[in-house]
Amino acid sequence: MEKPILKCQDLHKKLGKKEILKGVSLELNKGDILGFIGPNGAGKTTTIKLILGLQSINSGSVEINGYDIEKQFTKAISKVGAIIENPDLYMYLTGFDNLKLVANMYPNVDRTRIMEVVKLVKLDNRINDKVSKYSLGMRQRLGVAQAILHKPNLLILDEPTNGLDPEGIKELRDLLKDLAQKEKMAIFISSHNLAEIETLCNKVCIIQNGSVIENTDMAKVKETAQGYYHFIINNTENLSEILSYPMEIQDNQEVRINVSREQVPEVVKSLVRHDIKIYEIHEEQMSLEDAFLKKTGGNTID
| pLDDT per residue as tens digits for the range 76-120 | 999 999 998 778 899 999 999 999 999 999 988 999 999 999 999
pTM of the entire structure? 0.82
Note the CATH number of domain 226-285.
Answer: 3.30.70.1560
pLDDT(225) > 70: no
The architecture in CATH of the region 6-222 reads: 3-Layer(aba) Sandwich (3.40)
C-alpha distance from residue 88 to each of 85, 130, 143 (Å): 9, 14, 7
| pLDDT tens for each residue of 257-302 | 988 888 999 999 999 999 999 999 988 777 788 778 777 776 555 4
Name the residue among 136, 137, 139 with its Cα closest to residue 94.
139
Domain parsing of the chain, residue ranges? 6-222, 226-285
